[in-house]
Structure 1
Amino acid sequence: MKKSRLLALGLSAALAVSLLAGCSNTTEQSSGFNLNLCFASEPETMDPTLNRTVDGNVMMNHLFEGLYKYVDSDPSGDGRNGATAVLVPGQAAEEPAVTENADGTYTYTFTLRDDIYWSDGEPVTANDFVYSWQRLVDPETASPYNTIIAMVVNANEIINGEKDKSELGVKAVDDKTFEVQLTYNCSYFLDICAFPNTMPLREDVVEGNSTWSQDPSTYVCNGPYKMASWTHDAEIVMAQNEKYYNVEELGPDTLTFKLMDDANAQLTAFNNGDLDYMQNPPPDETASLLVAGTLLPGDYLGTYYVCFNNQKAPFDDVNVRRAFSLAIDRNYIVQQVTQSGEVPAGGWVPSNVVDAQGTDGDDFRTVGGDYIDVNDYEANCELARQLLAEAGYPNGEGFPEVTYLYNTDERHGAIAEALQSMWKEVLGVQVRLDNQDWNVFLETRSKGEYSMCRNGWIADYNDPVSFLDMFMTDNGNNDAHYSNSEYDAIMTEVLSDSDAEGRMALMHQAEDLLMEQDCAIAPLYYYSNPYMISDNVHGMYYSPLGAFIFSYCTQP
């Protein structure tokens, strides 16, 4: 998922309102207009607690609102001026009061706005946040993002089944006062308060109805828009939520999320005026679209990588994993295949992620250095062949048949073909390629029913832990099924440490284990975030964490 260095917390709620800006579209309606948007195909889930995808993140940010939200720091912009989203109170009326307790814990006290309601007219209360946060860590929910509130008292114990969810360090003091107790004063906690997984939910809506999030008639939400219809594998339509406190400032009457995975079809729709926004055009069109200015570059804190199944032969052998990683020509992939401003990855945590140990603005990647010399491919290939031979497969002889899995998408397919060719040429290994539809792919990858697969990760907040805690043994996003007790111990300490320099040093140790010792994954490149937006759409804003916001678009 993803957000970055531009998240400023100093703006007041009043400033948040003044910063709301607009955009537009080609399709006018009787009283407004509609925006047609495409981020991905059929979403994995529309349940905020269970969401783990970027496309889900975008939709949740329009349907729900957390204690904090993103607003546009440059209302005069037109959606083409970079990452301008900043963080301000949302359902909260103001910044929380923070108290340090005698036992070393910290209490955050949030006062909710007086004018917040659910889409069915019921008031949003502190109990709705208590329910949502308890549901998030409940083992029965099995949210892949349950550790995102690991800093809350008793969260880890509940996740591990050692305590009941009722013991989570959250409390509704009254209907308008939500209290959270943290084990330490987490520097990015307010970022978490804007994340979809921490958005409120109504217990009476969710409990006893396993399909509540699949039917617009039961999809009760508290954001600027509400779900009007869902035609599966075709589109999700959102209409203005008349109960939202800022509804008078909203722009589009409706937001229509087209559910498509064919890049050529998306580009055709965009060129025909049937789409106002899209991402990831066909790879063979990318370079020319960038030159023409039709495809716009965007900042993104994320890494695209090959995921090895660390528990399944032959990739349970570190020499095999390292050989396959070194055999990848990362410069070729970004220069000849993706061509969208990506940067070859020499490590896991990408550039521009903060590091408390950095001097002169150095980030985590600069301080930590690279684990792969992306500019000496010849030497990498020689070492790769040696390692594969040491693993018992000289020149690829006797290597079992393996498959590289990716989700259906022309760009992922082009990358897969390049990897297949490199592994054949350098290692003498024939890798079969297979692709699946998005939802099927996510389930297959999560279950570990693969040998190698494509993967990507976008920061949830600007801190290295957003990239590193996911590889703890029991983390729901650990698709590599990597398990190292030393790594788990280090990250457990990180997740309870408020000493900035100390926790950064620990995270560098963790990355050393992940990348240098165990080579659990093979990072390919650090993302850019190119997108296409209609010329007469203005005011869209976004952050490098993937929070694209269209709520306040207006016609020019």
Structure 2
Amino acid sequence: MRKNAFVLLSSIALASAAMAGCAGNQTQETAQPSTTNQGATAPSAAKTDSGKPKLFRIAITSEPSTADPAIAEDNQSNMMVTSTFAGLTRIGEDDKPHEEVAEKIDVSPDGLTYTFHLRDSQWSNGDPVTAHDFEFAWKRALAPETASNYAYQLYYIKGGEAYNTKKGKVEDVGVKALDDKTLEVKLANPTPFFLELTAFMTYMPVNEKVAKANPKWALEAATHVGNGPYKLTDWQHKSKIEFTKNDTYWDKDNVKMDKIDVSMIEDENTALSMFDNGELDWDGAPYNTIPLDAMPSLKDSGKVKIKPIATSYWYKFNTEKAPFNNAKIRKAFAYAIDRKSLIDNVTQADQMPAMGLFPPSMAVKPDGYFKDNDVETAKQLLAEGMKELGITKLPPITISHNAGDGHKKIAEAIQGQWKKALGVDTKIESQEFKVYLETLHQGTYQVGRIGWIPDFNDAINYAEVFKDKNGGNNDTRWENPRYKELVNQAGKESDPEKRKALFAEAEQIIMDEMPFIPIYYYTRAWVEADNVAHGIYQDPLGNSDLKWVDMK
């Protein structure tokens, strides 16, 4: 789902806010006091076995930064967007894209032109959803002034990158509403996964009339307008969110819940206690984290459910600041981490040590590029790197992370490992997630934690994160011309074996220069109440959807 995933999309077993594929500076609108959408149409009354309207209660760890598809980049905001918007396609429970607002899709023989024929559907305010809304939304996300960190996901569209980087005109972007019900899209190159992309949050439509009338439309329930399974009917900032079934949604018959209540609970132990007391129906992934201390007993009792996903837990280096402007020092810190010990003793959710850029489902070198806990090599690299920088002592080192007990315990464990292996003193700082994102984007950090949720199952979705120094998600500020060339070539190459070779060379470069530390590949861990008939859909990549939730 996202940039310094997504992001956005943020927020897996231990990532209360992971991103599904993020970028440079981002302009965020300031959230106003909460309001309730008093004019919302009451949902049709699906009933539980007891005859009461159906309610599903969950928790998230932090305030979503927005409910605007163009700006959303973290897991909490992705939840807002996927719940209240419908794109041209939607990922189904078979993990494949299916027609959503698009009723029929034509693809030209050369794979460069997609023609989407839209079904009759409505916005939550009663307006018809048109092809013009999609054209407006995509060009709005690409507009440089929007500062969308996920704009690069629209670079597959002809002219998209040029417009976003101020080298082209909006008129040359290859998306055009031929009429109210027909959208024509021209791609820069054949993109086999394009119908997966059209299910991604940045590709969602936006009601042009609403967005132009109020630039802050997506920050309050009273002004929010969507076209998805649910309506945003209450948003009490930093407290709670309420979704209700959207009776204007084209597929409303497959939405079983009348209401979803979302509580914002930063403390993981509090959320688990609420679940144990019957105040929540679901705790843990994909939007919250089970306390690490509770994992052993939950695993022993068989209550916790664990699912591996193609999502990574990373530490990023700010490569523009000493001492991490030196590749050997970066590699020393990466090699000195004991991942197996971290997983066995801290995370305890059967994660897999990460020894490269690409997760197992996309791997080009499954055995990785270095050894776990290689202390001797780490010491040698540190000494060589310090000599190259002309220093005899490292400056103070700070590990930054977004608030969460799990992230804190991981940081403390790595802090101890670095002290033991390298003699390095570090301090740890924690920030509320929205503030933390700005810390990364502004480059005011040394070592920063992030999770990456891929948007589709292709290695390019990982590789492109680090392609451009000033790219939407590359907070490391690292760039390598050959790496960039290889990723660009892979994006145009259709032969699977040639693409694999290009990715292998690119991955070798980034592992040699180590602008980030791969730590582990996620699993999702959660507990659910006995009366959950159908839980939150979670795909193999770590993306999630509340559409199909049902209660007994």
Which amino acid in the other structure matches residue 370 of structure 1? G
Partner of 1:486: 482
**Which of residues 297, 310, 328 in structure 2 aligns to 1:301?**
310
C-alpha deviation, 1:391, in angstroms: 2.2
Q: Which runs of 4+ in 1 moved over 4 A?
A: 23-26
Q: Name the structure 2 match of 1:58.
A: 79
Equivalent residue number for residue 448 of structure 1? 443
Q: Is residue 2:130 matched to residue 1:93?
A: no
What is residue 384 of structure 2 aligned with on the other side?
A: 390
CA change 1:388–1:552 in 2 (3 A) is closer
Aligned to 2:34: none
Give the CA deviation at 1:208: 4.8
Superposition map of 1:128-207 within 5 A: 128-207=133-212
* Counterpart check, 1:70 vs 2:91: yes
CA apart distance, 1:40: 2.7
Partner SS for 2:518: strand
Mapped pair 1:372 → 2:377: no
Please say if 1:542 is aligned against 2:525: no
Post-superposition shift, 1:54? 2.0
Match for 2:375: what amino acid? C
- Which of 58, 82, 98 is the aligned partner of 1:37? 58
Preserved CA contact (<8 Å) 2:190 2:492: no
**2:353 matched residue in structure 1:** 344
Quick one: which amino acid aligns to residue 553 of structure 1? V
- Name 1:410's counterpart in structure 2: 405
Specify every segment of 5 or more residues in structure 1 that has no aligned partner in the other structure, as ranges. Answer: 4-22, 74-84, 354-362
**Residue 112 of structure 1 pairs with residue 114 of structure 2:** no
Are the aligned partners of 1:236 and 1:256 in contact in 2 as well (CA < 8 Å)?
Answer: yes
In structure 2, the partner of 1:509 is 505
State the alpha-carbon separation in 1 of the partners of residues 233 and 299 from structure 2.
Answer: 35
Residue number in structure 2 paired with 1:12: none
- The RMSD of aligned alpha carbons is 2.1
CA deviations over 1:380-437 (Å, ceiling 9, x no partner) = 101111111112379x952111210011111100100011101111111100111011
Change (3 A) 1:282 1:554: closer
Whichever residue aligns with residue 533 of structure 2, its letter is H
Who is 1:427 aligned against? Answer: 422
Q: CA deviation at 1:501?
A: 2.7
* Aligned position for 1:520: 515
Deviation at 1:113, TM superposition (A): 0.8
Q: 1:261 aligns with which of 256, 263, 266?
A: 266
Identity of aligned residues (%): 34
TM-score of the aligned structures, taking structure 1 as reference length: 0.87
| Secondary structure in 2 matching 1:304 | strand
| In structure 2, distance between residues paired with 1:128 and 1:523 | 39
Greater mean deviation of Cα atoms: 241-250 or 210-219: 241-250
Q: C-alpha distance in 2, partners of 1:470/1:415? A: 24
Determine the C-alpha separation between the residues in 2 that align with 1:24 and 1:477: 43
Tell whether 2:472 aligns with 1:476.
yes
Q: Which residues in structure 2 correspond to 1:215-364 (within 5 Å)?
A: 215-279=220-284, 280-353=289-362, 363-364=363-364
**2-structure distance, mates of 1:126, 1:497:** 30
- The SS at the match of 1:220 is coil
What CA distance in whole angstroms lies between the structure 2 residues aligned with 1:328 and 1:137?
A: 39
- Shift of the 329–100 alpha-carbon distance from structure 1 to 2, 3 Å rule, reads same
> Is the contact made by 1:125 and 1:175 (CA closer than 8 Å) also made in structure 2?
yes
Measured in 1, the distance between the counterparts of 2:48 and 2:441 equals 38
- Tell me: CA distance 1:458–1:231, structure 2 relative to 1, closer, same or farther (3 Å): same
- The alpha-carbon deviation at position 553 of structure 1 amounts to 3.2
In the superposition, relative to structure 1, how do residues 139 and 496 fare at CA in structure 2: closer, same or farther (>3 Å)? Answer: farther
Question: Structure 2 CA distance, aligned partners of 1:58 and 1:452?
Answer: 27
Structure 1 residue identity aligned to 2:247: E
Cα distance between partner residues in 2 of 1:549 and 1:151: 24
Alignment partner, residue 36 of structure 2: none
Output the CA distance in 1 between the equivalents of 2:548 and 2:427. Answer: 46
Partners of 1:454 and 1:25 lie apart in 2 by 42
Gaps spanning 5+ residues in structure 2: where? 6-45
SS of 1:476 mapped into structure 2: coil
Does residue 438 in structure 1 map to residue 433 in structure 2?
Answer: yes
Range with bigger deviation, 35-44 or 439-448: 35-44
| Distance apart, 1:185 and its partner CA | 1.6
User: Which residue among 216, 219, 227 is the counterpart of 1:214?
Assistant: 219
In structure 2, the CA distance between the partners of 1:512 and 1:535, relative to structure 1 (3 Å rule), is same
Task: For 2:222 and 2:365, locate their aligned partners in 1 and report how far apart those are by CA, in whole Å.
Answer: 47
Partners of 1:382 and 1:553 in 2: how far apart?
Answer: 50
Do 2:56 and 2:551's aligned partners in 1 also have CA atoms closer than 8 Å?
Answer: no
Q: Distance in 2 between matches of 1:334 and 1:302?
A: 15
Q: C-alpha distance in 1, partners of 2:100/2:65? A: 26
Post-superposition offset of 1:25: 8.2
Output one character per residue of 1:39-67: Cα deviation in whole Å (capped at 9) or x when no partner: 33101221111111122223321100111
Quote how far apart the aligned CAs of 1:442 are.
1.1
Tell me if the contact between 1:393 and 1:399 (Cα under 8 Å) persists in the aligned partners.
no
Q: Which moved more, 1:539-548 or 1:195-204?
A: 539-548
Contact 1:299 1:528 in 2 (8 A): yes
CA distance in 1, matches of 2:489, 2:211: 34
> Do the aligned residues in 1 keep the contact of 2:90 with 2:199 (CA within 8 Å)?
yes
The one-letter amino acid paired with 2:325 is: D
The one-letter amino acid paired with 2:376 is E
Q: Is 1:497 paired with 2:493?
A: yes
| Equivalence for 1:48 | 69
